[in-house]
Structure 1
Amino acid sequence: MSREELQHIAERRRAARAARRCRITVCGGLGCESVAGAAVLERLRATVRDAGKAEEIEVHLTGCRGLCEAGPIVEVELGDAARRERRLYLRVDEAAAERIARAHAEDRPVEDLRSHHDDPFFTRQTPVVLAHAGEIDPEDIETCIAAGAYSALEKALTQMAPREVVEEIVRSGLRGRGGAGYPTGLKWSTVAKAEGSRKFVVCNGDEGDPGAFMDRSVLEGDPHEVLEGMAIAGYAVGADHGYLFVRAEHPLAIARLRTAIAQAERLHLLGNRILDTPFDFRVDLRIAGGAYVCGEETALIASIEGKRGSPRPRPPYPAASGLWGMPTLINNVETLANVPAIVAQGSAWFASIGTEHSKGTKVFALAGDVVNTGLVEVPMGMTLREIIYDVGGGIPGGRRFKAAQTGGPSGGCIPARHLDLPVDYESLQAVGTMMGSGGLIVMDESACMVDVARFFMDFCREQSCGKCVPCRAGTVQLHAILERITRGAGTRDDLQRMEELIELLRATSLCGLGQAAPNPVASTLRWFRDEYLAHVVDRRCPAGVCEMQPSAVEVPA
């Protein structure tokens, strides 16, 4: 495919859209799919067809709209780009879908079902990665091309040298969205300079954190955005082959990725001589078995190579010796999804969003005790209070906020005293947690923080690969102590033992997952020590969650 043919597809699809007076979209995210979203889509299509309006009204699915607790979500768009009116409908069942389709076939809204786009949940967000949610059909590449897909790749291949693409990513200030926030441009520069007969690009879509669904939703809703980001990365660093590593537990994402890869190959947007240039880039899908440790990049590499997914000591780092000993660039889904926008709109635009050291936006999976659970994208530096109360709608039932957990099982808990903390890499680290991949779990006053620490340590214990003794044995010991405390059999000495174990794991575990595993315990000991003391001294759980047994025999650690 040539650049002219790419532009022709975009113009043709835009013209087809402009020729219709109405477009109806249905959220195709897994949340809406799980509450009969597919049936709603089919009822809308059937009703429009039966009304003889198929030439006037377009009906298709789209990516996750974010407000997962209100699904299925249907949006009706009227008019052209110059005068566009949108009508939003929440919690739509098949009967409501038929009413909506019949009403709009007659060019009238259904007022008793209608919601509004001016809700802070939508207005306080800054979509970059999720910019096309509600616009494209993730299973139809032409709707994606009409929205700009692969135009950034075309710009990179025809107007920029590989070195210039790397420099653009460096200037943007983009940092890795999968964990500790390593500068993306620096990683790209290292791989670009590395020597090797071949180089690879790997997209880490393992995403195993409890309560996290950011990367999965991006892959489900805009797979071409990620594929384009991988191709641009391959061009920049000199790689001709990419691997997309996705959990088997994400079947909808896998199905849409397979469709997207096949469509892109058919149009020669992946494969050989992309866009009539000398650049070749192929993408293969690798289905992960679901081991949490495979989120760590050396374990991920071993899994792709067909070996047991366990980490190895570093150095050498994957940038120098990764897949099959070759230089390998590894970025997570959200990191790569930012790349097309940066190349298309420029590094200065991206760097204007966020804070001095944390540029751009962050996608969060907002879950727990909050009114608006779902997927949100906000500028770096927005305060925790704004995310929870403005975007998230606050705490249900008038209850008080107690803590927020960020960074997944290896993250930490933030107390109410830090509600006005700006959410960026440095600020989160200062209070004992991390950005992680973007899980944000909100807890109200009914949560017991000792039990929360026990829950996450149980997860870390179960998911330890067992390769190194500190993680294999240390997580078991930490969990056993927490179990004892929540039963009412803990002592003050247990608190000291936990602090010693925390330092041991951090200093001696083989990989980053083991080193960060005790973070939930460390942060709750730091900010909620009074709750631990209530358990071990007063033999009571202030939240009434733990089934305390005051007569339990105290067993030494």
Structure 2
Amino acid sequence: MSFRLTPVLTATWGTDRSWTIDAYHQAGGYQALRKALAMSPDAVLQLVKDSGLRGRGGAGFPTGMKWGFIPQGDGKPHYLVVNADESEPGTCKDIPLLMATPHTLIEGAIIASYAIRAHQAFIYIRGEVVHVIRRLLRAVEEARAAGYLGRDILGSGFDLDITVHIGAGAYICGEETALLESLEGYRGQPRLRPPFPATAGLYGCPTVINNVETIASVPAIVRGGVEWYRSMGTEKSPGFKIFSLSGHVARPGQYEAPLGITLRELLDAAGGMREGHELKFWTPGGSSTPLFTAEHLDVPLDFEGPPQHGSMLGTTALQIFDETTCVVRAVKRWCEFYAHESCGKCTPCREGTFWYAQIFDRLEKGLGTAEDIETLLDLSDNILGRAFCALGDGATSPVTSSIQYFRDEYIAHYEQGGCPFDPVASTVFAGAGV
């Protein structure tokens, strides 16, 4: 291989009972917390700024800068909220991390809370992952019993408690302001911004909201230092990242590697495509990022590479599809998901995703027309940039990109009277260029 994996967050996933505090201690756990508590909160914040850590939830915003937006000396409570509502199709990195090493997140949450001077933190986790919830709750109990939570943590004078809040299964609550609404007991719908959570977040108080992987990366940065962290990745996207490979690959799973790695290199690590098949299309960052094809195998997977080629790094959920996959059917399934998960607050998303689902259903059944393609593009233009939050924008990504790269396949659906990949409808896919 021309690259190396960088197991940091995933380094102990294979050890015996890795989720327990004893196993975490044996791997050096909570040493970073002791180091951080010996520093001033401002020094910890500056360390994270200097590291260049960027948000792992999809947006890639500099984490230290986000923490720095919290006003100090305002007399209000400050809150840290960890977004563990991982729900997007194909995205699978936070839940495995919590399953294997929940104390990594807890230690990171304590350090982050100390840096922003918060005395209450929340972990908002999706309600479907009951086994992970139980493991996380137990880890919080272990941390409290060991003196890492509660009053006067390790004799530092710093007080903190962590509450695990279980969501009700709504994808929209992965949007940070909808998450806050749900956390406060209201219906999960996005808030109008400004004001932003940094000044008026949970209960109207200054709040930092970060993804699980973001916060879990903090202990390693404190322990290893800025120079060590920046020795991985690229100049503008330093550090390590968990890349989730799913679909038609020989060995699906989570691969932790430096930012800037390519899909070609990751496929080498994963044993390549399944035997006898070739790559057709893939998502670089989950179903809400524009599709890539085989021509993008060497695009650097960092926060700069995919945007230069019309997509996004997103959550690094790499869904891999081979030549047996109908792109129209795949996008149809994603559109049905977005239509189902739309909170209904804004018209572009509520109506647009509904009509997406209707048109794709018609196309897949062979009842579509040439006008459907232009209607899909027109719908996308009316959703993109006009929805209340990013759910609407994300829903347009697979639609417009799939038409860009596979228009012939769309045409074949209505010209052949059905899906070319359905043996009942057609045994030959002619002229689609697949």
Give the TM-score of the pair, scaled to structure 2: 0.94
Q: 1:459 matched to which residue of 2? A: 337
Unaligned runs of 5+ in 1: 1-119, 549-557
Q: Indicate conservation of the 8 Å contact 2:417/2:425, yes or no.
A: no
Q: Indicate conservation of the 8 Å contact 1:130/1:377, yes or no.
A: yes
Task: Quote the offset at 1:533 in angstroms.
Answer: 2.3
Task: Identify the range of structure 1 (357-366 vs 217-226) with the bigger mean alpha-carbon deviation.
Answer: 357-366
Q: What CA deviation, in whole Å up to 9, does each residue of 1:66-119 have, x standing for no partner? A: xxxxxxxxxxxxxxxxxxxxxxxxxxxxxxxxxxxxxxxxxxxxxxxxxxxxxx
Q: 1:238 matched to which residue of 2? A: 117
Q: 1:502 to 1:519 in 2, by over 3 A?
A: same
Q: 1:545 to 1:232 in 2, by over 3 A?
A: farther
Q: What CA deviation, in whole Å up to 9, does each residue of 1:135-184 have, x standing for no partner? A: 463443122112111111110111x2111111111111111111121111
Q: Indicate conservation of the 8 Å contact 1:486/1:547, yes or no.
A: no
Q: Indicate conservation of the 8 Å contact 2:71/2:199, yes or no.
A: no
Supply the distance in 1 between the matched residues of 2:18 and 2:365 (Cα, whole angstroms): 49
Amino acid paired to 1:299: A
Supply the distance in 2 between the matched residues of 1:361 and 1:214 (Cα, whole angstroms): 13
Supply the distance in 2 between the matched residues of 1:175 and 1:547 (Cα, whole angstroms): 47
Supply the distance in 2 between the matched residues of 1:351 and 1:251 (Cα, whole angstroms): 36
How do 1:167-316 residues align onto structure 2 when only pairs under 5 Å count? 167-191=46-70, 193=72, 195-316=74-195
Q: 1:153 matched to which residue of 2? A: 33
Q: 2:270 matched to which residue of 1? A: 392
Unaligned runs of 5+ in 2: 427-434
Supply the distance in 2 between the matched residues of 1:136 and 1:243 (Cα, whole angstroms): 28
Q: Which one of 365, 368, 372 corresponds to residue 487 of structure 1? A: 365
Q: Indicate conservation of the 8 Å contact 1:471/1:505, yes or no.
A: yes
**Aligned with 1:484: secondary structure?**
helix
Look at both structures and tell me which one has the larger radius of gyration over its CA atoms: 1
The answer to whether residue 17 in structure 2 is matched with residue 128 in structure 1 is no
Amino acid paired to 2:294: A
Q: 2:234 matched to which residue of 1? A: 355
How do 1:372-521 residues align onto structure 2 when only pairs under 5 Å count? 372-388=251-267, 390-521=268-399
Supply the distance in 1 between the matched residues of 2:26 and 2:202 (Cα, whole angstroms): 35
Task: Quote the offset at 1:194 in angstroms.
Answer: 8.0
Supply the distance in 1 between the matched residues of 2:418 and 2:236 (Cα, whole angstroms): 43
Amino acid paired to 1:126: T
**Aligned with 2:234: secondary structure?**
coil
Supply the distance in 2 between the matched residues of 1:515 and 1:461 (Cα, whole angstroms): 13
Aligned length, in residue pairs: 426
Q: Indicate conservation of the 8 Å contact 1:195/1:327, yes or no.
A: no
Q: Indicate conservation of the 8 Å contact 1:138/1:256, yes or no.
A: no
Supply the distance in 2 between the matched residues of 1:527 and 1:430 (Cα, whole angstroms): 17
**Aligned with 1:242: secondary structure?**
strand
Q: Indicate conservation of the 8 Å contact 1:136/1:147, yes or no.
A: no
Amino acid paired to 2:260: G
**Aligned with 1:508: secondary structure?**
coil
The answer to whether residue 401 in structure 2 is matched with residue 523 in structure 1 is yes
Task: Quote the offset at 1:485 in angstroms.
Answer: 1.7
Task: Quote the offset at 1:211 in angstroms.
Answer: 2.8
Amino acid paired to 1:185: G
Q: 1:546 to 1:361 in 2, by over 3 A?
A: farther
Supply the distance in 2 between the matched residues of 1:194 and 1:449 (Cα, whole angstroms): 54
Supply the distance in 1 between the matched residues of 2:222 and 2:148 (Cα, whole angstroms): 17
Task: Quote the offset at 1:454 in angstroms.
Answer: 0.8
Q: Indicate conservation of the 8 Å contact 2:346/2:387, yes or no.
A: yes
Q: What CA deviation, in whole Å up to 9, does each residue of 1:398-424 have, x standing for no partner? A: 111111123323122211111111111
The answer to whether residue 8 in structure 2 is matched with residue 162 in structure 1 is no
Q: 1:82 matched to which residue of 2? A: none
Q: CA RMSD in A?
A: 1.9
Q: 1:45 matched to which residue of 2? A: none
Task: Quote the offset at 1:537 in angstroms.
Answer: 4.0
Q: Indicate conservation of the 8 Å contact 1:406/1:413, yes or no.
A: yes
Give the TM-score of the pair, scaled to structure 1: 0.74
Q: Indicate conservation of the 8 Å contact 1:273/1:279, yes or no.
A: yes
Q: Indicate conservation of the 8 Å contact 1:447/1:545, yes or no.
A: no
Q: Indicate conservation of the 8 Å contact 2:19/2:99, yes or no.
A: no
Supply the distance in 2 between the matched residues of 1:194 and 1:522 (Cα, whole angstroms): 47
Q: 1:193 to 1:384 in 2, by over 3 A?
A: farther
RCO (CA 8 Å, sep 6+): is it higher in 1 or 2? 2
Supply the distance in 2 between the matched residues of 1:545 and 1:342 (Cα, whole angstroms): 53
**Aligned with 1:398: secondary structure?**
coil
Task: Quote the offset at 1:545 in angstroms.
Answer: 7.1
**Aligned with 2:58: secondary structure?**
coil
Q: 2:221 matched to which residue of 1? A: 342
Supply the distance in 2 between the matched residues of 1:363 and 1:194 (Cα, whole angstroms): 36
Q: Indicate conservation of the 8 Å contact 1:406/1:436, yes or no.
A: yes
Supply the distance in 2 between the matched residues of 1:168 and 1:192 (Cα, whole angstroms): 18
Q: Indicate conservation of the 8 Å contact 1:199/1:326, yes or no.
A: yes
Q: What's the % identity of the aligned pairs?
A: 43
Q: 1:545 to 1:260 in 2, by over 3 A?
A: farther
